[in-house]
A = this chain, B = another copy of it.
Amino acid sequence: MTETDVPIPRMKAHDRRELVIESATAVFGDYGYYGTTTDQIARAAGVSQPYVVRMFGTKEKLFVEVLERALVLLLGSFRRALANDDGQPLQRRLGLSYVGLLEHRGLLLSLMHAFVLGSDPVIGERARQGFLQVYEFLRTEAGMTSTEAGLFLAGGMLSNTMIGLRMTDMDSSDPIAHELLEACFPEKLEVVVELGDTYRPDPK
């Protein structure tokens, strides 16, 4: 009966909020906006479901927050890669910067989910705006032509699709899948597969 009353850990609201947004990003990345429940997010963050809802008002506001943070991180990462000129061509620097974002679990996938929800009045509007922001970065800040930017974005969308499909799971077993992945991630496949492994453990 010696109730060793271990003190319940408490975080500052700001830190907890960050943690919830990160957890939400991961879960939204797996199941999308509609497929994710606030309870899943709460359990991933180690808090109660009502707390998650109250923290952001609604599930939709939380998703928009996730979307906005993802765009900030993406553009920040690109700007750093742009400034940090190590002699390699720009396309490659940005490309590596992009796959580096896989470390933020669910970030690129949450973006991708948002990108196919254009008919939603709130999420769709923000997603369009975000995509245009990225395009404008490539055109003005990175100095790409519209064709170059288009090719770069196309590669990004294909990457997202491969990640979304969990195609890296088939990399070792299926030779066709392996070849496809080689074509999708020229010179960076090892990185992607390794980072992709982080994605494994997530029981619904």
Q: Smallest distance from the beta carbon of A137 to chain B beta carbons, Å?
A: 11
A115, chain B: closest CB distance, angstroms: 5
Choose from B117, B157, B167 the contact partner of A128 (Cβ within 8 Å). B167
Q: A115-B164, A116-B116 are in contact. List 4 more A-B contacts (CB 8 A).
A: A32-B116, A32-B117, A136-B176, A146-B179
Name the prevailing secondary structure of the A interface residues.
helix
Determine the interface band of chain A, counting residues with CB < 8 A from chain B: 35 or more
Task: Check if A147 is an interface residue, CB within 8 A of chain B.
Answer: yes
A202 at the interface (CB under 8 A from B): yes
State the copy count for this chain: 2
Instruction: Please tell me if A191 contacts chain B, counting CB pairs below 8 Å.
Output: no
Which chain A residues (150-193) contact chain B, with CB distance < 8 Å? 150-151, 153-155, 157-158, 160-161, 163-167, 169-170, 174, 176-177, 179-180, 182-184
Per the bound structure, the CA–CA distance linking A174 and B90 in Å amounts to 27
With A32-B34, A34-B35, A179-B146 known to touch, is A116 a contact of B157 (CB < 8 Å)? no
Are A167 and B118 interface neighbours, CB within 8 A? yes
Q: Is the CB of A127 within 8 A of B165?
A: yes
Residue A112 at the chain B interface, CB threshold 8 Å: yes
A151 to B153, CA, bound (A): 11
Residues of B within 8 A of A161 (CB): 112, 115-116, 131, 157
Contacts of A150 in B (CB 8 A): 158, 180, 183-184
